[in-house]
Amino acid sequence: MTEETLTEILPPIRHWPALDLSGVEFDPVLTELMREGPITRIQLPNGEGWAWLVTRYEDVRTVTNDPRFSREAVMDRPVTRLAPHFIPERGAVGFLDPPDHTRLRRSVAAAFTAKGVERIRERSRRMLEELVSELIQDGPPADLTATVLSPFPIAVICELMGVPAGDRHLMHTWTQLILSSSHGADVSEKAKKEMGAYFADLIGQRENSSAEDVASLLGAAVGQDEVTLQEAVGLAVLLQIGGEAVTNNSGQLFYVLLTRPDLAERLRAEPEIRPQAIEELLRYIPHRNAVGLSRIAMEDVGIQGVRIRAGDAIYVSYLAANRDPDVFPYPETIDFDRSPNPHVSFGFGPHYCPGGMLARMEEQLLVDALLDRLPRLRLAVPPEKVPFRKGALIRGPEALPVTW
């Protein structure tokens, strides 16, 4: 794009309020923003000023993969945002640019590849079998979130991290406090410090370990001066917390399957299509509210004929990109035969989610176990009575009352 074709006319700033949406309803404000044009300006409930928003698939991939947009620069700016508390830590993986970001991510990469995840599939399957057996033994009705969708991802992420089974509960409590906004910033900071101290200990103990869990990989990386202990601890905390995202995502996944028995029936009848069906559900599920972390333009950049000035903040919406009709025909339709399906539910560019393979493996195991062992699984309440999380960044059912 040449300089001359860039417009200086700024689109209006749209206020994007925090909405407590239910089910898998697509955010109506985002629908409006997508309709308004490929690049708009938004103001979110917290922080200051306005930021750009891109919603088309190609633009989302451009912004997230172009080094002219920096994450590190967000550290020093009170950018308009959804989250009430913003306590970014210098050196945290979400706020680094390459090459430091690459160096940090490399230290744990092996644990999150398809091979790394495969290593714990069988153990994960057995842990899930136990949880589902207990559920069946206790009998209906039950809350699927409390009995399976919450404990299972915690057990799996602890396994991958190398956290002993006896400490799972501790990890879960800290995670809840860190992620919750209702207890206040102090409580969440304290929990983060405590989890950090725990991991500093664990990583320290594993400096000479050649095991493949994340704490051992980090121990080795610290031992070889590839990352500092502080960086390693910060990363361990984020990975541990991130692990619980699967509870909310699979909560939405099962909400879809339980409210669309036709889809569940097809998955029971054709188990071979489950992996591709899960990809389609991942594309469709509105994983989060509004948008996540912004990026800052380090120089003037033209996008869709609009000049983004150096210093401007910009957001991408992966949710919107997943509904771009140029890439996903009939984007509102859940189509298990969709091919290709290059969704960006796990992000794009250097900050793409490290947990993508792990989340897929967990959702495959959950679909197998729950559909096959509970052929009559259904909601125990009408769909509109399922309680959904309020005031949250990540969307999902608070409880999923089921019977069978």
Q: Using CB under 6 A, count the residues that bind ligand HEM.
A: 26
CB 6 to ligand HEM: min, Å = 25
Counting beta carbons within 10 angstroms of the beta carbon of residue 137, is it exposed (0 to 12), middle (13 to 18) or buried (19 or more)? exposed
Distance CA 25, CA 384 (A): 12
Distance CA 57, CA 343 (A): 9
The kind and range of the H/E element at 39 are strand 39-43
Closer to ligand HEM by CB, 33 or 214: give it.
Answer: 214
Closer to ligand HEM by CB, 6 or 83: give it.
Answer: 83
* 107 near ligand HEM, rule: CB under 6 A: no
CB 349 to ligand HEM: min, Å = 6
Distance CA 213, CA 217 (A): 6
* 358 near ligand HEM, rule: CB under 6 A: yes
* 354 near ligand HEM, rule: CB under 6 A: yes
**Binding-site member from 243, 251, 286, 396 for ligand HEM (CB under 6 A):** 243
**Binding-site member from 39, 203, 359, 379 for ligand HEM (CB under 6 A):** 359
CB 154 to ligand HEM: min, Å = 11
Cross-strand pairs, 48: 79
Dump the DSSP string for 251-282.
HHHHHHHHH-HHHHHHHHH-GGGHHHHHHHHH
Closer to ligand HEM by CB, 41 or 283: give it.
Answer: 283
* 396 near ligand HEM, rule: CB under 6 A: no
What are the CB-based long-range contacts (under 8 Å, 24+) for 335-341? 335/280, 336/263, 336/266, 336/267, 336/273, 336/276, 336/277, 336/280, 337/273, 337/276, 338/276, 338/280, 338/283, 339/276, 341/276, 341/279, 341/280, 341/283
Please provide residue 271's backbone torsions phi and psi, each rounded to the nearest 5 degrees: -60, -25
Closer to ligand HEM by CB, 258 or 291: give it.
Answer: 291
* Stretch of 141-149, 221-229, 244-252, 327-335 contacting ligand HEM, by CB under 6 A: 244-252
CB 105 to ligand HEM: min, Å = 6
* 353 near ligand HEM, rule: CB under 6 A: yes
Site string for ligand HEM, 306-325 (x = CB under 6 A): ------------x-------
Q: Which residues 148-177 are close enough to bind ligand HEM by CB under 6 A? A: 157
Site string for ligand HEM, 203-242 (x = CB under 6 A): -----------------------------------xx--x
* 108 near ligand HEM, rule: CB under 6 A: no
Distance CA 130, CA 149 (A): 13
Q: Which residues 19-78 are close enough to bind ligand HEM by CB under 6 A? A: 64
Q: Which residues 174-193 are close enough to bind ligand HEM by CB under 6 A? A: none
Dump the DSSP string for 190-226.
HHHHHHHHHHHHHHHHTTT----SHHHHHHHHHHTTS
Q: Is residue 295 within 8 Å of residue 77, measured between CB atoms?
A: no
* 84 near ligand HEM, rule: CB under 6 A: no
Site string for ligand HEM, 258-287 (x = CB under 6 A): -----------------------------x
DSSP E strands in 287-344: the ranges are 295-297, 301-303, 306-308, 313-316
Closer to ligand HEM by CB, 1 or 165: give it.
Answer: 165
Nearest alpha-carbon partner for 295 in 115, 59, 57: 59
| Cα-Cα end-to-end distance for the chain | 58
* 246 near ligand HEM, rule: CB under 6 A: yes
Distance CA 67, CA 28 (A): 31
**Binding-site member from 116, 162, 292, 401 for ligand HEM (CB under 6 A):** 292
Q: Identify the DSSP state of 95.
A: G
Cross-strand pairs, 79: 48
CB 222 to ligand HEM: min, Å = 18
**Binding-site member from 150, 249, 252, 322 for ligand HEM (CB under 6 A):** 249
Distance CA 39, CA 76 (A): 24
Site string for ligand HEM, 331-350 (x = CB under 6 A): --------------xxx---
CB neighbourhood size of 329 (10 A): 9
Residue 200 token pair: 């500093």
Contact set with ligand HEM (CB under 6 A): 64, 93-94, 105, 157, 238-239, 242-243, 245-246, 249, 287, 292-293, 318, 345-347, 351-355, 358-359
